[in-house]
């Protein structure tokens, strides 16, 4: 096959198998470039070297265990080698998130290529939001922030996922004219709104279990919910650094027997997991980093006809309407979270209405609409 142009695409997230939203979003963008007759070359963590006719140069993903900073450096050294080998004849470079953009940033003047940076998380802002920082983190934080926003400034085009994130980037010196807000999406047709028997009394938290995700608040709320609705189950689908603490808290709180911890699952299994749950929880704490995102889980909850109870955060508030397609609770208040869950469990008509509205809300964020817009924005 003869291609008109070449697109070099990179991410630090797994694209095969897909475990999270970053890999899924990036892979769909790659497929859209291919549809437009681009030769697509992908630099990313993957267990295979070719996906749908696209060449993949595999990289070991940065780890969140031990030294995260060192693993990011090692990832980008390998990335630099591939960029030098493959970047010179690329017509456009599309990078998902800044961790995978450091190499391109360092070689930007040498490459002289159009670089599009797709930002769904600003990683150092999560570091700034930690309750406790070790001495190295305190010393490096200002430098790492400067580097991350410097990388964003260097891109020719920047795509962000909320208006709140756009305003933060502008505040940090990124030119507003080159920033476009394009929300995340979901494969609406892949998800069924039909639920398994008894699903309405099942809760779910989908995705990573790190401190910034606030899963302990659900455990604390479960103790209250079970007093009124003892048959309620909580599915914690995913893993992360905070999972051992969450399990310990569940045991100490006496709710462990009502929790199902599945560990990490392939993204292809997410739809089936969501069929088992009537209510999806987003318990993220109120901090700058969390206020700038919407999280893919919100859209997948919606696509599967799952009612959503979420912390009231700025980014999510841009697209969700309280008491229509979401129930907001005050961030960090597990009593308020429990009261919102109990309200839905006690009022099946309200729960059914919320589930119906969720499915309708998802249609506005179908990947079929979102991905072509991302590529159009990249090329224009």
Domain co-membership, 240 together with 171: no
**25: in domain:** yes
CB contact at 8 A, 125 and 149: no
What burial letters (b/e) apply to 265-284, b meaning 16+ CB within 10 Å?
A: bebeebeebbbbbbbbbbbb
Note whether 292 and 352 are same-domain residues. yes
Same domain, 70 and 203: no
Same-domain pairing of 54 and 146: yes
Asked if residue 125 and residue 257 are part of one domain, the reply reads no
Cα 194 to Cα 105, 231, 284, 346, 352: the distances in Å are: 46, 21, 27, 20, 12
**Do 177 and 195 fall into the same domain?**
no
pLDDT value of residue 137: 62
Among 156, 181, 206, where does a domain finish?
181
What CA–CA distance (Å, rounded) separates 125 from 215?
A: 19
Residue whose structure tokens are 């992360």: 240
Q: Report residue 361 as tokens.
A: 């809300």
CATH code assigned at 138: 3.40.50.2000
- The reply to whether 130 and 226 lie within a common domain is no
Are residue 202 and residue 134 in the same domain, yes or no? no
Least confident window among 83-92, 99-108, 263-272, 274-283: 99-108
The reply to whether 195 and 169 lie within a common domain is no
Percent residues over pLDDT 90 in the chain: 72
Report, as an integer, the average pLDDT of 222-248.
Answer: 95
Query: Which domain covers residue 16, as residue numbers?
Result: 5-181
Q: pLDDT tens-digit profile of 171-201?
A: 999 999 999 999 999 999 999 889 988 889 9
What's the mean pLDDT when you consider all of the chain?
A: 91
Instruction: Reply yes or no on whether the pLDDT at 363 is more than 90.
Output: yes
Contact (CB, 8 A) for 127 and 137:
yes
Which of 181, 214, 236 corresponds to the end of one domain? 181
Residue 377 belongs to some domain of the structure: no
- Given 141, 163, 181, the domain boundary residue is 181
Domains contained in the chain, number: 2
Predicted structure pTM score:
0.91
Q: Is residue 263 part of a domain?
A: yes
In tens, the pLDDT along 28-71 reads: 999 999 999 999 999 999 999 999 999 999 998 887 655 667 77
Q: Do 223 and 122 fall within a single domain? A: no
pLDDT of 98 higher than 70: yes
**14 within 8 A of 23, measured Cβ to Cβ:** yes
- Quick one: angle between helices 21-35 and 296-303, nearest 10? 80
Residue 358 has pLDDT above 90, yes or no: yes
Which residue reads 């005050």 in tokens?
A: 330
pLDDT at 231 over 90: yes
Extended beta strands in the chain, E state? 5-11, 38-44, 50-51, 54-58, 92-96, 114-119, 157-160, 179-181, 202-206, 233-237, 259-263, 279-282, 307-311, 327-329
Domain membership of residue 10 (yes or no) is yes
User: Is there a domain that residue 375 lies in?
Assistant: no
Average pLDDT estimate for 248-255: 97
- β-strand partners of 94: 9, 116
Same domain for 203 and 321: yes
**Between 1 and 372, where is the model more confident?**
372
Sheet (strand 233-237) strand order: 259-263, 233-237, 202-206, 279-282, 307-311, 327-329
């Amino acid at each position: 096959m003869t291609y008109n142009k070449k697109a070099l695409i990179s991410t630090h997230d797994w694209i095969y198998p897909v475990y999270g939203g970053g890999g899924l979003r990036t892979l769909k963008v790659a497929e859209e470039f291919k549809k437009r007759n681009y030769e697509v070359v992908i630099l990313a963590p993957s267990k295979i070297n070719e996906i749908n006719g696209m060449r993949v140069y595999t990289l070991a993903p940065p780890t969140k265990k031990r030294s995260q900073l060192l693993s990011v450096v090692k990832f980008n050294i390998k990335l630099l080698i591939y960029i030098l080998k493959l970047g010179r004849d690329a017509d456009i470079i599309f990078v998902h998130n800044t961790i995978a953009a450091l190499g391109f940033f360092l070689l930007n003047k040498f490459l002289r290529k159009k670089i599009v940076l797709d930002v769904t998380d600003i990683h150092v802002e999560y570091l700034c939001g930690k309750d406790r920082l070790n001495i190295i983190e305190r010393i490096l934080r200002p430098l790492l922030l400067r580097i991350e926003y410097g990388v964003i400034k260097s891109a020719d085009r920047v795509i962000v996922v909320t208006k709140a994130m756009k305003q933060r980037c502008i505040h940090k010196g990124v030119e507003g004219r080159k920033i476009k807000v394009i929300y995340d999406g979901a494969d609406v047709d892949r998800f069924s709104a039909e639920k398994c028997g008894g699903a309405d009394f099942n809760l779910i938290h989908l995705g990573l279990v790190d401190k910034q995700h606030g899963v302990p608040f659900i455990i604390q709320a479960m103790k209250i919910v079970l007093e009124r609705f003892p048959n309620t189950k909580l599915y914690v689908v995913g893993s992360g650094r905070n999972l051992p603490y969450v399990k310990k808290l569940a045991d100490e709180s006496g709710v462990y027997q009502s929790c199902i911890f599945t560990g990490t699952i392939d993204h292809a299994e997410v739809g089936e997991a969501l069929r088992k749950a009537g209510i999806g929880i987003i318990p993220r704490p109120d901090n700058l980093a969390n206020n700038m995102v919407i999280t893919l889980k919100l859209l997948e909850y919606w696509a599967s006809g799952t009612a959503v109870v979420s912390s009231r955060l700025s980014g999510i508030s841009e697209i969700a309407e309280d008491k229509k397609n979401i129930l907001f609770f005050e961030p960090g208040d597990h009593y308020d979270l429990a009261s919102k869950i109990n309200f839905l469990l006690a009022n099946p008509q309200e729960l059914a209405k919320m589930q119906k509205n969720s499915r309708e809300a998802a249609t506005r964020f179908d990947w079929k609409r979102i991905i072509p817009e991302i590529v159009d924005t990249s090329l224009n």
